[in-house]
Amino acid sequence: MYMYDWSVITRNMDVFIYGALKTLEISAISILLAIPIGIIFGMGRISKNKFFRLISSIYVEIIRGVPLLVLLIWIFFVLGQFLKLGSYWGSIWGLAIFAGAFIAEIVRSGIQGVPKGQMEAARSLGMSHAKAMTHIVLPQAFRRVLPPLASQFIMLIKDSSLISIIGATELTLDAKNLVATSFRSIEVWTFVAVVYFIMTFSLSLIIRYFETRLSKSEA
C-alpha cells in the first residue's frame, strides 16, 4: 500500500520555487519575442504585398499545424546545432515562434475588426497608410486583442512544461528530477499541478483587473 509523504514538498520547497521562477522567466521572454513576431506576420497576412502575404501565410499555417513538442525538438536538435542555441534559448525561441503564429492570427483578426472607415477617415486627413495604421488602427485593434493575447500568455506558461524534453531547467524538469530521487511521484506531481494553477490563475486575475480598468477608461 502506498504511504503518502508530503514532507517531500516542504523539504524541497526551494526546488519548486526556483523551477516556478524559471518557468515564468522563460515564458515572459518568449512572449516578449512572440508579440513582435505576431505583429509583423499578422500585418503580413493582410498586406497588399503578395510576397509578404504569402510568406506570412506559410509561416502561420505551418507553425500552427506542427505540434509544439515536435517544433521544440527540431529547433534544439537541428537549428540549434547550427546556431548554438542550447536548451535555454532553444526553448525560448521554440515557444516564441510557436506562440507568434497564434498571435499573428489574433493581430490579423483585431486589425480586420476595426471598421474600414477609420482608415479611410485617417487617409482623408492626409495621413500616410503607415501613419494611419500606427496611430489610428493599431491602438483600436490592441484593445480588441488584449483578452486573447492574455489568454495566449497563460497558455504559454502551461506549454512551457514541454521544454523539459530538451533539458531546459524549469518547474517540470525539476519535478522529474525530484521524482527520480525521492520516488514520490503522486506528491510531487500533485504539488506541481497546484503551482501551475496558482501561476495561471494569478495571471488571470491580473489580466482581468487591467481589462476592467480599460473598459472603465473607454466608458
Q: Is the pLDDT of residue 105 over 70?
A: yes
Regarding predicted confidence, which is higher, 128 or 15? 15
SS3 168: coil
Size (the chain), residues: 219
The predicted-structure confidence for 115-174, as pLDDT tens digits, reads as follows 777 777 777 777 777 777 777 777 777 777 777 888 888 999 999 999 998 888 899 999
- Nearest in space to 37 (alpha carbons), one of 9, 56, 16: 56
Pure H helices in 2-85:
7-11, 13-45, 50-65, 68-74, 80-83
pTM of the model: 0.86
CB contact at 8 A, 59 and 41: yes
What whole-number distance in Å separates Cα of residue 120 and Cα of residue 188? Answer: 58
Mean pLDDT for all residues in the chain: 87
Q: Hey, what's the cell of 195? A: 503551482
Measured over the CA atoms of residue 88, residue 90, residue 91 and residue 97, the dihedral's sign is positive
Q: Hey, what's the cell of 72? A: 521544440
Lowest mean pLDDT among 13-17, 20-24, 103-107, 142-146: 142-146
